[in-house]
Structure 1
Amino acid sequence: MNDDAEQLEMWCAGEDWCPITTTANLVGKKWHPVIVHRLLQNGPLGFNALKEDVDGISSKVLSDSLGDLEQKRLVNRDIVNEKPVRVEYSLTQIGKSLQPVIFAMRDWGAEYLAPAADKNSSVA
């Protein structure tokens, strides 16, 4: 572990299974890993660009997810002083440190995910 890394406090500290619970708590919600992945891939994004990049998420769910990720210290919310003023989301150092976890999730899912069903075929 990097001694300079920011530490997260968890209720299970000291238990051998706590690191797994800590990680699951951070990325265990449906859209959280996708949002982190998009920010890892693209760097800082505004709300609308992020919503467009996370296809299928509603504005409310994205807003709630970003708030939760910010509270968990994975995402920064920065106000950009341009005209008009806009908000930009980026990953914190802790958020960036999730890259191997998020990429491992992506790679594992790609290996075991069944191909999408052909929309023109009928299911017997």
Structure 2
Amino acid sequence: MKNDIKDCPASYAISILDGKWKIPIIWFVAREKVIRFNDLRRKIDGISNIMLSKSLQELEKDHIVMRKQYNEIPPRVEYSLTETGNELYPVLELLGAWGKQAINKKIHTEIS
């Protein structure tokens, strides 16, 4: 039997978020509402321009992030979440809360 995304929607969702940088990108874009490329790069420690650009392109292709370019000199590009991206943000907040609890449990276990 062939696996299909309908068989496991969670796997499909994770495939969109796969990679080291996509969740932090979504997190900071959501928190800022609208953010420029260099501002986003400064917020995400360790990300290169190439990886940020590639990740943003993939998130745009998956309709999570929206890119808006202004025809100005110098050119200005801003990123924001799409409706789909905004629907994802509460899930990331829950995941973050779960992660915080898991870290606390692990620290508590290691201390005991």
Provide the residue aligned with 2:85 in structure 1.
95
Q: How does 1:17-56 map to 2 (within 5 A)?
A: 18-56=8-46
Gaps of 5+ in 1: 1-10, 115-124
Displacement of 1:71 in angstroms is 0.8
Provide the residue aligned with 1:7 in structure 2.
none
Deviations 1:77-107 (A, max 9, x none): 1012444221111111111110121112211
- 3-state DSSP of counterpart to 2:19: coil
Displacement of 1:72 in angstroms is 0.8
Deviations 1:11-41 (A, max 9, x none): 82442xx211121012122111111011111
- Taking structure 2 as the reference length, the TM-score comes to 0.82
| Aligned AA (2:15) | N
Gaps of 5+ in 2: 105-112
Match of 2:47 among 57, 60, 63: 57
- 3-state DSSP of counterpart to 2:80: strand
Match of 2:101 among 102, 107, 111: 111
Match of 1:12 among 4, 19, 44: 4
**Given the alignment of the two structures, is residue 72 of structure 1 paired with residue 47 of structure 2, yes or no?**
no
CA distance in 2, matches of 1:28, 1:104: 18
Consecutive aligned runs of 4 or more in structure 1 exceeding 6 Å deviation: none
Number of equivalenced pairs: 102
Higher helix share: 2
- Taking structure 1 as the reference length, the TM-score comes to 0.74
